[in-house]
Structure 1
């Protein structure tokens, strides 16, 4: 009897130990499973967050690069514009000499019977216009027709244009010396003789009152008359008395 009781006690003890071990293992397994389930998403989430952050940083860096590129481009454009502005600004603001310039060749000019002429120089009329009767020339000591007028003037005196027009020719001859011919429109032409210091050329366009030269020493044809300006007005090559149009200022 005692031996049987002893065996039953050992079996019960073994069963209790076994149950305890199984229970402990079960609790441990359950705990591990729960922890695994609890933390199963974290690593991936952490990785995703880091990747997202890295991607955001990469995007931000790309945006920064784009912004820097835009800034560089804008700076280059600004520099280019500034350079262009400087280039453009230099030309209009170049130092200019204050001079009275003749109008361009396209400037309009005309003359009619109702218009007037400026005196080329101020002085006495020493030989009058005459094509019907001869007038006396002291130097030549003879009477002859005169299709122009001769105005006394000191050497070096400024000579101005009697009317606006365009230069037809600048020539020299024995009688009137350096001679300037100006077309003033509507078949009217003015001729100035006994000049010097003429800088105008054929095609030059001038305005009334503009300086065209200065009075030169008289030619041998006017030695007795003294220095003067020879002035002639023609219409369609026919001489016209200029004193009809000349007005005192």
Structure 2
């Protein structure tokens, strides 16, 4: 009985109903599958802004290749920011790093003129004595009562003045209130004496009556003799020739008596040439010799 009903069902409209339902199910399954595939594709294209960027992208490691020795391609791939601030900064760095602007060839005037104070030819320079003459102060050598009285009895008349120790032109004036130019040293400084032009071998005479208080040698004035002439005045004679010195400490000198002769200049006066260094002291303070020379 049941088999007959089942057969009649397939023979009737029931068969078509089942077929329609099957087709609907297949279509539904196809639509659902298509929607699921589309959802997956959209998920792949979704970018999470909270996710950390890929290291290669952040570091700028792309596959762009530059044409070798092509500055244009380099500029395109790695453009340079030419803003005013960067330009100014670059210019500043160029100046700081440019050694040619920071380093100078510095030469002293002595080097430019070929003058080396340490290597002046010996024949043109007064040499230091093998045994430097000892400087003897008056108290050490003038011990007798007569000698002391001689110093005490010395008087100097400023009105009468002093005579010229050598004949020659003054090539450097006394100047303690402003500087004068020293040609050999190539600098300006005060001058406590006068420099009198005089040839080597010229006799130097005592400018006033007095007593020799010092015979010494120093680098600037060479062999130098100092005499006391009374009333606190002293005369200093420099650039003298050691071999021609006729005096020693304690000797009494009359005005015009020969002290010695002019030597070759020391290395401090090679440009000025041979000369007499002549200085006047009053109570150990310098005085312009021109005020007393007659």
Alignment of structure 1 residues 1-249 onto 2, 5 Å: 108-196=153-241, 197-247=244-294
2:290 is paired with a residue whose SS is helix
CA drift at 1:112:
3.3
Stretches of 4+ aligned residues off by more than 6 angstroms: none
In 2: Cα distance, 1:207 partner to 1:109 partner: 12
In 1: Cα distance, 2:255 partner to 2:174 partner: 22
CA drift at 1:114:
1.9
2:268 is paired with a residue whose SS is helix
2:280 is paired with a residue whose SS is strand
User: Greater strand percent: which structure?
Assistant: 1
In 2: Cα distance, 1:111 partner to 1:162 partner: 12
Q: How many residues align?
A: 144
In 2: Cα distance, 1:110 partner to 1:151 partner: 26
In 1: Cα distance, 2:229 partner to 2:186 partner: 34
**Alignment RMSD (CA, Å):** 1.4
1:222 is paired with a residue whose SS is coil
8 Å contact from structure 1 (residues 110, 165) kept in 2: no
In 1: Cα distance, 2:165 partner to 2:159 partner: 19
In 2: Cα distance, 1:110 partner to 1:231 partner: 20
Task: Please give the TM-score of this superposition, normalised by the length of structure 1.
Answer: 0.56
In the alignment, structure 2 segments of 5+ residues that lack a partner are 1-145
8 Å contact from structure 1 (residues 184, 190) kept in 2: yes
In 1: Cα distance, 2:255 partner to 2:191 partner: 25
CA drift at 1:116:
1.0
In 1: Cα distance, 2:180 partner to 2:162 partner: 24
In 2: Cα distance, 1:113 partner to 1:161 partner: 16
8 Å contact from structure 2 (residues 154, 231) kept in 1: no
CA drift at 1:110:
1.7
8 Å contact from structure 1 (residues 110, 164) kept in 2: no
2:184 is paired with a residue whose SS is coil
Task: Please give the TM-score of this superposition, normalised by the length of structure 2.
Answer: 0.48
CA drift at 1:199:
2.3
